Structure 1
């Protein structure tokens, strides 16, 4: 896997797409608190190893929401100097350029967002207001519209843990009661009927592959470190991903303090921040990358760890804000 270098013209990228030679590329927002705010990194091949390469001058903020559409990333809100912002930026990952888009109606920090049918929906991250607590951005017309009536009944301010787009809906993990689901066809954010089961083991280090939600379960409630949830299954419950062993395959997670998961072309890719500890395998602050291939056998999912390697070293503790995949 290599990062395509900017080759000069959009026509060339269109030709690559027409010929079917595009590939998924991972982008990660990583900071080094308290002195360094987050920056974007890409995962690329360096000789025979994978490495994270820092990209300068692209907007990355604390507590931002990020949505990917093709080769573009939309950066929505976040925190600037400790204050929420309504800024929206479009990053063209083909050329690593950025431009400002029309601002949201509200300032938002720690909102959730997802792209469905040509619209980007952003929810919460601000105090409740029935007119624009949720907003929708039309990618084609580049305009925002408020979504009245989207408010849930729960009494909290919409500072979410994470979210996932499955079955053309946005599922939301919030910290206090249960899980919520937003259906654009209905235009309302409501409690998910099976949210108690979903919330039980869902955490921020998660991603969606083939419309199913994968997350890390280091407590091994189901006796396996990776688990999966299918919202369309008749019996809605977490299931183990077989074949992945914590001590053998996921060694960095033993001394980890931060991790983020992404869908890289149908495979699970986990970035793990590990700290230097006496008598551990970590000699410095590191970011590891674990790549896991998935295979479905009937109703069961099996994982095969293809690689586990250090992709970034630092003398400071890296904070992995989020990771996203684009197609180039």
Structure 2
């Protein structure tokens, strides 16, 4: 009898990836992009179990494979009750939800007739499943992304009063919890994170002794012994101000002065010189953020960065004929600039003009919310440091009755 020449692999069961020990399987899957998790979870119960456990996120954080993900807070209008509510949504591309979805346009025509290739696709808003979390979303609250969580601090409660509450959304499991309350009720406060602490400032009427508070993320407690006093003896509570972190210090920019806070020393310093140009971030309608210790802002259809060495705003190169043509030459409303894992995300709403027709009702086109992901690159020139930008992705969603308010980037 002639022996078979076929490989033993044809006679024995093939190797299964799920046979690996859980620790090794966890380490392998933690290196795969989260955009593939939905497809992988459907392969076996083992994959579904591993990818649904909190351990996968701990492994991703440990080996440094976390990815940024955008969450957006929207105001929605109920047509039945004509009431407005606020809630958080995960921003996802329809490609990740359904491979059959046809992608958006891949090109825009610039003013000089050139066709500009940009990868664009339609996005969708996926609501946070835990409906009780929507009750925590309040007006005039301070929103802050810390790792994989979103902190909502203070704001206006149902009775129209300032709130001491702190709600935390875990974006890994879409569950929420209440953190310890602040010492002082606040609305429209400013918040930032530095060296494992959240600093909340302002929004508390005239309580100068507790103008700011410090929250320890590790112990989940508010520092009772060291409340942050007002940066000056003057009354700054009625002033417009912004808070930003540059290096190891926190900077407070007001209409009148500029201050720096050193957490190690626990003292405020009045800045007599420098940072003069940063006052422009206080102007109405200006959106800004910090990426890699550089301040960026959008103004008059251009993207600028702030050069600390000379105190001037300089234009980000490479976007002049690209980004703003993508706005389809319509009116728009800027929402936010977001630090997206070292890249820059610009969020804006296109406000198309009403189309009037003779003897017919006017046509009101739907608004679109656009998200541009920009890769930033520094380079030296004969005149000094320059920064250029390149659009990696251009996404949009037709939001209908949703009114986007703020956008944050978390790490998952």
TM bucket by the smaller chain? 0.7 to 0.9
Q: CA deviation at 1:129?
A: 2.4
Matches within 5 A, 1:129-278: 129-145=207-223, 146-157=226-237, 160=240, 162-174=242-254, 176-192=255-271, 193-200=273-280, 204-218=286-300, 225-230=302-307, 233-245=308-320, 248-251=324-327, 254-278=330-354
Q: CA deviation at 1:228?
A: 0.7
Counterpart secondary structure, 1:107: coil
In the alignment of these two chains, the number of paired residues is 317
Deviation digits for residues 223-248 of structure 1 (CA, Å, limit 9, x no counterpart)? xx000114xx4323222111112674
TM-score for both structures, normalised by structure 2: 0.69
Determine whether 1:8 maps to 2:52: yes
Question: Bigger CA drift: 291-300 or 243-252?
Answer: 243-252
- Find the partner of 1:41 among 89, 111, 123: 89
Counterpart secondary structure, 2:64: coil
The CA distance in 1 between the partners of 2:314 and 2:238, in whole Å, is 29
- Find the partner of 1:306 among 368, 388, 392: 392
The CA distance in 1 between the partners of 2:340 and 2:295, in whole Å, is 14
- Mapped contact 1:152–1:190 kept (Cα < 8 A): no
Partner of 1:20: 64
- Mapped contact 2:231–2:259 kept (Cα < 8 A): no
Partner of 2:127: 54
TM-score for both structures, normalised by structure 1: 0.85
The CA distance in 2 between the partners of 1:249 and 1:2, in whole Å, is 31
- Mapped contact 1:152–1:188 kept (Cα < 8 A): no
Partner of 1:70: 147
The CA distance in 2 between the partners of 1:73 and 1:315, in whole Å, is 24
The CA distance in 2 between the partners of 1:327 and 1:228, in whole Å, is 24
Which structure would you say has the larger RCO, counting Cα contacts within 8 Å and 6 or more residues apart? 1
Partner of 1:323: 407
- Mapped contact 1:150–1:188 kept (Cα < 8 A): no
* Unmatched runs of 5 consecutive residues or more in structure 1: none
The CA distance in 2 between the partners of 1:27 and 1:274, in whole Å, is 19
The CA distance in 1 between the partners of 2:150 and 2:205, in whole Å, is 26
The CA distance in 2 between the partners of 1:273 and 1:159, in whole Å, is 28
Q: CA deviation at 1:158?
A: 5.4
Partner of 2:162: 84
Change (3 A) 1:252 1:289: farther
- Determine which structure has the larger strand proportion and give its number: 1
Counterpart secondary structure, 1:226: strand
**Aligned Cα RMSD in Å?**
2.8
The CA distance in 1 between the partners of 2:157 and 2:269, in whole Å, is 30
The CA distance in 2 between the partners of 1:9 and 1:18, in whole Å, is 15
- Mapped contact 1:2–1:45 kept (Cα < 8 A): no
The CA distance in 2 between the partners of 1:272 and 1:148, in whole Å, is 35
The CA distance in 1 between the partners of 2:71 and 2:138, in whole Å, is 14
Change (3 A) 1:285 1:162: farther
Q: CA deviation at 1:162?
A: 4.0
Partner of 2:107: none
The CA distance in 2 between the partners of 1:201 and 1:104, in whole Å, is 27
Instruction: Answer with 1 or 2: which has the greater Rg.
Output: 2
Counterpart secondary structure, 2:208: coil
Q: CA deviation at 1:63?
A: 1.4
